Amino acid sequence: MRLAWHVMTLGALIGAGCFDPTAGGQRGTLTLAGTPADQLAFIVQPHSAVARQIITPAVQVTALDPLGNTDVSFTGQVTVSLGTNPGGGFLGGTLTVGAVKGVASFGDLTVSSAGTGYTLVASAPPSGAKSATSKAFDITSP
């Protein structure tokens, strides 16, 4: 009987040491859903296009974890808007997209006016992820 008690006690101590985040004076938080996205990044930059024509290939934005890897658990809404707007244009198309496995694709973006040096800004305010600004691109007259 006494041996069984020792085995059970030893098992409880080993279990607590291995699985309890507060064991041994160490404290921590266990996050089952993964870490939240830390920042956004353009993985497919906008390319120069003709005014009022769809920018191809599709612009893509990814959510990155704190280590800079794609956060495949991120499914939040990502919104793009014009950053630098040298031609006074309007951004058209689907401006808010839900990310799939951490990537948001914008396949129908257009800019209404010609200009040199436009940029896009991607944001996901509810997630707390830092926004991203694209590289500059040009829009030419039709």
Tell me: pLDDT of 96 over 60. yes
Average pLDDT over residues 137-142: 97
Query: Given pLDDT bands bounded at 50, 70 and 90, which one contains residue 123?
Result: very high
In the chain, the percentage of residues whose pLDDT exceeds 90 is 71
Cβ–Cβ < 8 Å for 119, 110: no
The pTM of the full predicted model, rounded to 2 decimals, is 0.75
pLDDT digits (tens, 9 = 90+) for 68-87: 999 999 999 999 999 999 99
Q: Under CATH, what is the fold of the domain 39-140?
A: Immunoglobulin-like (2.60.40)
Which of residues 62 and 24 earns the better pLDDT score?
62
Look at residue 126 in the predicted model and tell me its pLDDT.
87
Band (pLDDT 50/70/90 cuts) for residue 31 is very low
Domains of the chain, residue spans: 39-140
